[in-house]
Amino acid sequence: MAGFIDAIVGGGGMIQVPALFTVLPGFPAATLMSVNKLASIVGTIGSAIQYARANKSPWALVLISSVAAFIASLGGAYLLTQIPNQWLRSALPFFLLALLIFNIKSNAGLVHEPKHHHHKQKVIASTGAGLIGFYDGFLGPGAGAFYKLLYTRVLGFDFLRSAAPAKFLNIASNLGALCVFLYMGYMDWKLGVLMAIANFIGGQMGSQFAIKHGNTFIRKAFFITVTALIMKTFYDAFLK
């Protein structure tokens, strides 16, 4: 289910992470997060390939911003092991709500009209990817949706053409965080491989579904997912 949802709009972690913590309460939190990252990487690679086949991607832009996301995620994941993140958890639902309102008032993602060119586009994409990558390593929920927002709202791509770049950025930041967790010895390989297979299958189904139904469907699904993410992060921060 997480792979299916994540392939369409991002945010699969809000299904996968709570499921891991609910079913396996005795596991170390870092191990569960490491398993989540491994499964997400494999599933996202599969859906990213599907989107890349369907629409041409700006590979130079994707490469440089992916490097920024990877490096920033290393720092975020390391910081996660050193300091509490409750302050960020408390601010996250309000930040997401502001982004949701900001996007509802526009036609972002429906029309492909890139707003910047060449060097400026790379600088903006890399800066945004670095910020989101750091967040992904430090906390994580909704990072895939944030990457899609970066490409649709800031760079002017439509949802289908932003899908592959957003997925590759998400792979990069997940990989950065995973490297930190593996270096520190946090992983259950049997569980990770099984979840990776399931996530991959869900991702293949979700990406094919999204490509078939187009930008309007993805936009609606995106708003529903972000609304659910707002409620989930608010519950985790203030009611749990």
What does the pLDDT look like over 197-232, one tens digit per residue?
Answer: 999 999 999 999 988 887 677 777 777 877 887 888
pLDDT at 110: 53
Percent of the chain with pLDDT over 90: 39
* Each residue's pLDDT tens digit, 64-92: 999 999 999 999 888 877 776 566 667 77
Average pLDDT over residues 105-109: 55
Tell me how far apart the alpha carbons of residues 39 and 184 are, in angstroms, rounded to a whole number: 18
Q: What is the dihedral angle through the alpha carbons of 101, 16, 162, 66, rounded to the nearest 10 degrees?
A: 110
Q: What is the pLDDT of residue 106?
A: 57
Structure confidence at residue 72 (pLDDT): 97
Give the pLDDT band (50/70/90) at residue 196.
very high
pLDDT at 239 over 70: yes
**pLDDT score, position 107:** 58
Q: Looking at residues 139-160, what average pLDDT do you find?
A: 84
**Per-residue pLDDT band at 166 (split at 50, 70, 90):** very high
Q: What is the mean pLDDT of residues 31-43?
A: 92
Q: State the Cα–Cα distance between residues 37 and 199, nearest whole angstrom.
A: 11
Grade residue 112 by pLDDT with cuts at 50, 70 and 90. low
User: Would you state the pLDDT for residue 24?
Assistant: 87
